[in-house]
Amino acid sequence: MAKPATATHRVYPSSIGVPENNRQALIALLNARLADSSDLRSQVKWAHWNLKGMHFIQLHELFDSIAAHLEDQTDTIAERTTTLGGVANGTVREAAAKSGLKEADLTASDGASMLKFLVHNVAHHANAMRQAVQESDDLGDAITTDLFTQLTRELDKDLWFLEAHLTTA
């Protein structure tokens, strides 16, 4: 049996102009968002693979597009973590152990059910990113603040695309 995931909290030397104590807090913040991003990407891919019913191709392609956005965002978060001298705790097991998201509705198969849990979890992730904007700003790292702002903007757009399918005109 595999051992439970344990996150690594090493910090490597860095000449980045952020105080070490702040870097450690930023690395922890980035790793928390990395866990959510990795988890969310896997949930979106699960929905993409298992979708059935009306509007299949439209939602199948939308889910794949959102998963691709999350893949890029996950990489950006992990690379910022290591740029600050940290270790990106991004294995599947680490993400599962640390994610703040609800589990996907594994009984879902139709578009409406898939959209319901995805809207909830994308919104949760976007709002956690929004909070990370403020926290990173409080830690004096404008670059990480900008990163979180950009990712929040992208997540808000994906959320809009998902919610639009649930809204009646």
Domain assignments of the chain as residue spans, ordered by start: 20-87+101-164
Contact 91, 5 (CB under 8 A): yes
Which tens digits make up the pLDDT trace of 101-134? 999 999 999 999 999 999 999 999 999 999 999 9
pLDDT in tens, 62-89: 999 999 999 999 999 999 999 999 999 9
Say what the pTM is: 0.92
pLDDT of 17 reads 84
- Alpha-carbon distance values, 121 to 9, 15, 80, 93 (Å): 27, 36, 23, 19
Residue from 42, 14, 44, 11 nearest 28 by CA: 11
Which of 3.30.450.20, 1.10.1740.10, 1.20.1260.10, 3.40.50.360 would CATH assign to domain 20-87+101-164? 1.20.1260.10
Contacts (Cβ under 8 Å, ≥6 apart) of 16: 23, 83, 84, 85
CA–CA separation, 86 vs 141, rounded Å? Answer: 15
pLDDT in tens, 130-163: 999 999 999 999 999 999 999 999 999 999 999 9
pLDDT at 4 over 70: no
Rounded Cα distance between 71 and 126, Å, is 15
